[in-house]
Amino acid sequence: MAWLEIFNFLHFVGLAFGLGGATIAAIISSKAAEDKDVWKAAGKIMPSIAGLIWTGLVLLIISGIFISFLISWPLNKKLLIVKHVLVAWIVIIGIIIGKRMKKKKDIKGLSKINLILWYAVTLMSAFV
């Protein structure tokens, strides 16, 4: 039972890292698209924020796998599949954002989509 609590805690830490990082990245990228000075500063800050988001994703994925093996109650499998698909989209969009850091408009739009996906995963975590 202690392992379940540890992995559940790690799951919430990963969710906080990812959601917090995605929120900060969306705010910075929306401001950076309008101001060249902010864009230059964002180029220095964003790798740290991206690291925070990727750390959150890794924690979510690893702890989620262990939690699914440790729980004894039934899961809503359909909702869990939707949550997994959303996490996969977060990973795909994160890779795309990492490769297109030079284009301001792409980054602004993709980071907003990424943020919406993170909030959807957070909301679904309350029900799965």
pLDDT tens for residues 32-90?
878 888 888 888 888 899 899 999 999 999 998 898 888 877 878 888 889 989 999 99
Angle of CA points 85, 87, 89, to nearest 5°: 70
Indicate if the pLDDT at residue 103 is higher than 70: no
pLDDT grade for 109, boundaries at 50, 70 and 90:
confident
How far apart CA 120 and CA 56 sit, in angstroms, is 15
